[in-house]
Amino acid sequence: MKIIAAQPFDFTFEPAHTALIVIDMQRDFIEPGGFGATLGNDVGLLKKIVPTVARLLAAFRAAGLPIIHTRECHRSDLSDCPPAKRGRGTPSLRIGDPGPMGRILIAGEPGADIVPELAAKPGEIVLDKPGKGAFYATPLSAILAERGITHLVFAGVTTEVCVQTTMREANDRGFECLLAEDATESYFPEFKKAALDMIRAQGAIVGWTATVDQVERALRS
């Protein structure tokens, strides 16, 4: 067993049953011209965590542990994108519209892909998801069960939406979850802080949080 000096208390895990899930580190959310920018957000806030996420990926790769990357995207005919989702808000470009990196949040388009610095390595799973949570309408549950995974470490964007949603889904399914605080980000710093507080409230009601340094130390120990 290994121990991460986490909040609200130590996170104990067995590496053989632990996986890393990196949520939606996609060009459409992180680069200018993508969906995040069309909503009026400062994508530079998300771009800043790319080196930290890269460190976390390197630590899991060095330890030989499973890594799963997710991408929020839809079929080209938008059959898996509810009209209420596509029509919500006031972006300058909507899901499926042509943009600088291809059609917005459409599977197979350049904008839906993971940023090059964090691209998946051979043997790592890349999972496309049509919703906020990574368990909805995907084979994630089966993938984790096949590998005997009981503990999950999370990174990615955005903290309060797709990351927290997936952590809550995982918590309901009995997984022990930890979020790497400096490998996740929001377009709204106050939302990230609130999400971290909610996740670890009341004795880790959703899960634990720790820094990438703390995770690295535990994996090396």
Cβ pair 130, 74 in contact under 8 A: yes
C-alpha dist (Å) from residue 20 to 45, 116, 149 = 22, 18, 10
Q: Is 162 a catalytic residue?
A: yes
**Catalytic pick from 24, 28, 113, 182?**
24
**Catalytic pick from 162, 177, 182, 192?**
162
Amino acid 17 reads H
Alpha-carbon distance of 19 to 9, in angstroms, equals 20
Q: What number of helices (H) and strands (E) belong to the chain?
A: 9, 10
Say whether 156 sits in a helix, a strand or coil. Answer: strand
Q: Is 129 a catalytic residue?
A: yes
**Catalytic pick from 81, 129, 132, 192?**
129
**Residues with active-site annotation:** 24, 129, 162
